[in-house]
Structure 1
Amino acid sequence: MLHLLLLSYRGSEQDAEPHVAAHVRFLERHHREGTFLVSGQTVPTAQGGAIVAHGIDRASAGRIVAEDPFVLAGVAEYAIVTIDPGRAHPVLAGLLAGDA
């Protein structure tokens, strides 16, 4: 399974600014662990950001986003969209073969 983790600011980007460093550490940890494949800001950035996660079930995705410093500080929230890939580019096929 893949999960699109869609981050939305609850207020302004400026409200989130004090928590950016901790949020970046959160992202880097999950990238190192291999759970996050891609992460980045949406365009325009004022909307929030998005993450593509894999190798976990939906409940685990919910637990992970609940630990995001933005969420803990109450400045952002996530929507989780789970995808059961029916087709994938060959570059991703091996990566997705062992997903939960």
Structure 2
Amino acid sequence: MLHLLSLHYTASEEAAEPFIPSHVAYLERHHEDGTFLVSGQTVPTSIGGVIIATGVDRLVIERITEQDPFVLNDVAEYTITTIAPGRMHPALTAVLAPEN
């Protein structure tokens, strides 16, 4: 499965600021383990950010998003959209191939 994680601030950017280092560490951990393929801020940044995740089911990705320091500190929340990839660019096949 592929998951589109939309992070939305529920507090001001200033309120989220103290949690940025721990949020970045959270992102790095999940990029290193291969779960997060892409992450970045939205434009404008005041909205939040987006993550594309793969390799885990919906329940696991829900648990992962609950561990984000922004969520733990009530400054943001996630909307999760799970996608069953049908067609994709050949360059992405190795990364997004359907799980067996």
Query: What TM-score do you get using the length of structure 1 for normalisation?
Result: 0.96
What is the aligned partner in structure 1 of residue 46 from structure 2?
46
What is the aligned partner in structure 2 of residue 61 from structure 1?
61
How many Å separate the matches in 2 of 1:99 and 1:36? 16
How many Å separate the matches in 2 of 1:96 and 1:38? 13
How many Å separate the matches in 2 of 1:30 and 1:53? 9
Which sections of structure 2, spanning at least 5 residues, go unmatched?
none
Percent identity reads: 60
Structure 1: 4+ residue segments shifted above 3 A: none
What is the aligned partner in structure 2 of residue 78 from structure 1?
78
Amino acid at match of 2:43: V
Deviation at 1:99, TM superposition (A): 3.5
How many Å separate the matches in 2 of 1:34 and 1:68? 16
Amino acid at match of 1:55: G
How many Å separate the matches in 1 of 2:99 and 2:54? 6
Aligned CA distance change for structure 1 residues 94 and 47 (closer, same or farther; 3 Å): same
Q: CA RMSD in A?
A: 1.1
What is the aligned partner in structure 1 of residue 87 from structure 2?
87
Deviation at 1:52, TM superposition (A): 0.1
Which sections of structure 1, spanning at least 5 residues, go unmatched?
none
Query: What TM-score do you get using the length of structure 2 for normalisation?
Result: 0.96
How many Å separate the matches in 2 of 1:43 and 1:73? 23
Count of residue pairs brought into register by the alignment: 100
How many Å separate the matches in 1 of 2:4 and 2:89? 17
What is the aligned partner in structure 1 of residue 5 from structure 2?
5
What is the aligned partner in structure 2 of residue 25 from structure 1?
25
Q: Secondary structure at the match of 2:46?
A: helix
How many Å separate the matches in 1 of 2:20 and 2:75? 11
Q: Do 2:85 and 2:98's aligned partners in 1 also have CA atoms closer than 8 Å?
A: no
